[in-house]
Structure 1
Amino acid sequence: MTKTLAAQDASAHTGGRLTLWQGAALYIGAVLGTGVIALPAVAVRAAGPASLLAWLGLILLSVPLAATFSALGARYPDGGGVSTYVRHTFGARAAAVVGWCFYFAVPAGSPAAGIFAGAYVATAFGGGRRTVVVTAAVLLILVAVANWFGLTVSGRLQLALTVILVVLLLAAVVAALPHAHLKNLHPFAPHGWPAVGSALTLLVWSSAGWEAITHLAAEFRHPARDLPRATTLAVVAVSVLYLAVASATVLVLGLAAGNTDAPLGELLALGFGGTVQVLAAVTALLLTLGTMNAYFAGAARLGAALGRDGALPTWLAQGSNAGEVPRRSLAVVSGLSGLTLAATTIADVGTEPLVLLTTSALMPVYVLGTAAALRLLPRRSLSHRSALLAFVATVTLLIMTGWYLLWPLILALGALCYLQWRRATVTKHEVSGS
């Protein structure tokens, strides 16, 4: 561990604005998100009732992953998050690759999240694809505005959203349980056992978020104390809600769940009677708003840190200090997200490519982040053992990603080329100045 990074130990760090509960809410929102409103049906299509094993595997992966990033964020709070840890472990090039992968994953994932929510709104109010696109655009604007005014506003919004959505999700599950039937578990693996692996690859979208909180660690009032507590609250809440919704989807809807794009709406309709598309749409909007809010906050902070460290233009460095608002970086993330939404609308492509592009871009973040943790965290500690488990699991998932790995390879090439160009430019100016 370098002295530079060790000097950032959170034991003496205070002055951020996020409280424990606001931080936990941001964390829950970042991870829970749109996966719970769309992916239970996608998983059933891929593996049938055996998709429950994929959800269980996802949770088993999430625990060490969350513990690893929580330990890193609590010890070394910095807006660069995983990129900073990788920089001090493997150097500037690896850090730039990680930073670019996360930063440019958000503009791909945010429109997909908005489209998921838009499908629920279109079901409730009609309007077809136009409603879907308008909903996604409005959500992008809302989270950009909330983050423009800083994490105080964003954190309070997230706390309110999280309380409401947890109540709605639990209400949907409890109300639908009387309609559950064990016969819906048969046949358990209609597409064979390998399909469980395919379902798990898709569900990686639902595990994305455990790394996002590291970019906001410096914003906690007491990172060393509050970040681990916020992580524990988030892990418990997310695990319970994911398993509850996935189990209810299988036991209540059976294989028919694979034929719907709004499984949560189906559960609400069965539980409360009649058509409750409006309630389902509200729940979907709250979930999506929470996810996008947390990711915009993390990506904006990361972009400023990358600008500060020379991995992106220095113009983006404004707002890189704790307590400041990185508005320039936020503007770039918002603009790229809007362009992605426009491009996918014009090309008329679905959300699956965006989901896979996002998860594939995040895989190098997980692999290099957990590898850095193995060097930075105290050996024989619980956090170090968690990092080892997380590293093995993420390498396995990286291999399973397939040809979508071309996207992070392109981002890696872009990051390395930018560093080379910047180094050559600086050298040229130094020579000219001398």
Structure 2
Amino acid sequence: MTEHRLGVWQGTATVLGGVLGPGMLVLPHLAAAAAGPGSVLAWAALIIVSVPIAFTFALLGLRHPDGGGVAHFAGTAIGRWAYAVVGWWFIAAVPIGTLAGALAGGIYTADAFGWDSRTATVIAFALLAVAFVANAAGLRTSGRMQVVMVGLLLAVLTTAIVASLPAVSAERFEPFLPFGFGGVSSAVGVLIFAFVGWEAASHLSADFAGRRLLTATALTLAAITVIYLSVAVTVVGSGAASSPVPLTAMMRTSLGAAAEPVTGVAALVLTFGAINTYIAGASRLGVALAQQRLLPRRIASSPHRSLTVLAAAIAVVGAVALVRPIGLDPLLRATSACLAAVMFIGALAATRLLPAGRMRATAVAATALTALTLVLSGGYLAVPAAIAAVGFTARTIHSRRVPALITVPGAPDLPPHEARTGTAGAPTEPGPAAATQPRHL
């Protein structure tokens, strides 16, 4: 029987930390640059988009709890190939995305305190190290730390909003649509990065008891609605939208020089919350993929071993980025393309796994909206395509070397003992009844 370790507040902090990431440091400025005051409409559209996507993954986690997360959902609804490709996309995106997020937080923090770029790199790797240590200590410890970090984050954002309120002027909202609705659409494209994260919590679905995942998702949606709209209005109304460091500009209106260190703390908290959630989810996905023989068991037979492999992967990506500077923009876009593909397949799977009625209607809406994110990823869709190609090529080579596997209908490539007894989370080809019934460990 699975030991449920995440309570409502720890779970909410984990989900919220995955959604509210380092992007909040720069997205208000980028959105306002694209749409002017009309960026408020883009933030509102983002919230509307988030609702069906967030609840789709929460409902899937509630009815099909498994460490495989979206990969498990895809495998159950579509087939083993979907389990494999979604798992590979997510686990390959984590080293790239967490490194990019950590570097963004390190750069922002170093800038706030007047430190150089070398210090920014040290800060980035220190954040990653703390996140790995927290996860190695156990999900309960990581969850408690997440509650503290998210509490600090909300305090900093609230301070920025309240500090900038006296400077808000209605005149700054005119003209409201200087670039027309095309500018609003452009801002929506920029802000897509702010809602990736819902799929990460699904990998922790088995660690939630009862309906706590659904409750945590609802609380997270309520929190980001208040935060996103408040920041959108105050960043434009106070004139902070013109600054590339909008949170600092918002707080400077009333805090003066004290705004820099407060913003530095905000950067650390925002960054840690996001990378902590993704590392936690990826470590559990690695174990699930190893159980399905989609990753070598020797590198992901346990969460701790999976964490070690993730740390090594991030170290390799980091070394490459340091030797041949890639830049944050390509890293973030490549990560977003992989996660957009993950969310699309997950939402598509939900249209089969969730029962007819409101749940399935929610899944259909989520599928349509995640399809839009794929379109907006553009040429970066080559990244998930390349990952899938490499993964299937490696599987083909491995299958030729290890032919002694039992193949049974609905459970291909399972070793003999799993073919007889089944494995928790094993993706099978379910019939109509199995596709709509919850599966428990």
TM-score by length of 1: 0.89
Q: What's the offset of the Cα at 1:349?
A: 3.4
Whether the 8 Å contact between 1:165 and 1:283 is mirrored in structure 2 is yes
> Closer, same or farther in 2 for the Cα pair 1:113/1:317, shift >3 Å?
closer
- Structure 1 Cα separation of the partners of residues 381 and 139 of structure 2: 33
The aligned amino acid for 1:185 is F
- Structure 2 Cα separation of the partners of residues 271 and 33 of structure 1: 25
Does residue 365 of structure 2 align to residue 389 of structure 1?
Answer: yes
Q: What's the offset of the Cα at 1:116?
A: 2.0
Does residue 212 of structure 2 align to residue 226 of structure 1?
Answer: yes
The alignment partner of 2:203 has SS state of helix
Q: What's the offset of the Cα at 1:400?
A: 1.9
Does residue 98 of structure 2 align to residue 122 of structure 1?
Answer: no
Q: What's the offset of the Cα at 1:282?
A: 0.6
- Structure 1 Cα separation of the partners of residues 314 and 190 of structure 2: 21
Q: What's the offset of the Cα at 1:149?
A: 1.1
Alignment match, 1:6? none
Range with greater deviation from structure 2 (46-55 or 365-374): 46-55
Alignment match, 1:425? 401
Alignment match, 2:423? none
Determine which of 305, 312, 315 is the counterpart of 1:335.
312
Alignment match, 1:173? 161
Determine which of 62, 65, 87 is the counterpart of 1:77.
65
- Structure 1 Cα separation of the partners of residues 65 and 325 of structure 2: 41
Q: Specify every segment of 5 or more residues in structure 1 that has no aligned partner in the other structure, as ranges.
A: 1-12, 320-325
Whether the 8 Å contact between 1:308 and 1:316 is mirrored in structure 2 is no
Range with greater deviation from structure 2 (50-59 or 228-237): 50-59
Whether the 8 Å contact between 2:21 and 2:270 is mirrored in structure 1 is yes
Whether the 8 Å contact between 2:196 and 2:340 is mirrored in structure 1 is no
> Closer, same or farther in 2 for the Cα pair 1:137/1:14, shift >3 Å?
closer
Alignment match, 1:36? 24
- Structure 1 Cα separation of the partners of residues 259 and 376 of structure 2: 38
Whether the 8 Å contact between 2:163 and 2:251 is mirrored in structure 1 is yes
- Structure 1 Cα separation of the partners of residues 38 and 323 of structure 2: 36
- Structure 2 Cα separation of the partners of residues 193 and 28 of structure 1: 30
> Closer, same or farther in 2 for the Cα pair 1:317/1:117, shift >3 Å?
closer
The aligned amino acid for 1:310 is R
Alignment match, 1:406? 382
Q: What's the offset of the Cα at 1:370?
A: 0.6
Q: What's the offset of the Cα at 1:135?
A: 1.1
Whether the 8 Å contact between 2:71 and 2:86 is mirrored in structure 1 is yes
Q: Quote the sequence identity (%).
A: 39
Q: What's the offset of the Cα at 1:359?
A: 0.6
Whether the 8 Å contact between 2:94 and 2:278 is mirrored in structure 1 is yes
The alignment partner of 2:5 has SS state of coil
The alignment partner of 1:273 has SS state of helix
The alignment partner of 1:193 has SS state of helix
Q: Superposition pairs for residues 269-288 of structure 1, below 5 Å?
A: 269-288=252-271
The aligned amino acid for 2:394 is Y
Whether the 8 Å contact between 1:377 and 1:383 is mirrored in structure 2 is yes
Determine which of 251, 259, 265 is the counterpart of 2:237.
251
- Structure 2 Cα separation of the partners of residues 245 and 298 of structure 1: 28
Range with greater deviation from structure 2 (336-345 or 19-28): 336-345
Whether the 8 Å contact between 1:109 and 1:355 is mirrored in structure 2 is yes
Q: Superposition pairs for residues 187-202 of structure 1, below 5 Å?
A: 187-202=175-190
Superimposed CA distance per residue, residues 161-201 of structure 1 (whole angstroms, 9 cap, x where no aligned partner): 11121122112101111101122223434444323323222
Q: Superposition pairs for residues 28-427 of structure 1, below 5 Å?
A: 28-220=16-208, 222=209, 224-253=210-239, 255-257=241-243, 260=244, 262-319=245-302, 326-380=303-357, 382-427=358-403
Q: What's the offset of the Cα at 1:20?
A: 1.3
Determine which of 20, 23, 34 is the counterpart of 2:8.
20
Q: What's the offset of the Cα at 1:111?
A: 1.6
The aligned amino acid for 1:354 is L
> Closer, same or farther in 2 for the Cα pair 1:346/1:263, shift >3 Å?
farther
The alignment partner of 2:320 has SS state of helix
Whether the 8 Å contact between 1:17 and 1:219 is mirrored in structure 2 is yes
- Structure 2 Cα separation of the partners of residues 185 and 130 of structure 1: 40
- Structure 2 Cα separation of the partners of residues 143 and 329 of structure 1: 14
Q: What's the offset of the Cα at 1:254?
A: 5.4
Q: Specify every segment of 5 or more residues in structure 2 that has no aligned partner in the other structure, as ranges.
A: 407-441
Q: What's the offset of the Cα at 1:93?
A: 1.0
> Closer, same or farther in 2 for the Cα pair 1:121/1:76, shift >3 Å?
same
Whether the 8 Å contact between 2:235 and 2:241 is mirrored in structure 1 is no
Q: What's the offset of the Cα at 1:288?
A: 0.9
Q: What's the offset of the Cα at 1:398?
A: 0.8
Whether the 8 Å contact between 2:106 and 2:123 is mirrored in structure 1 is yes
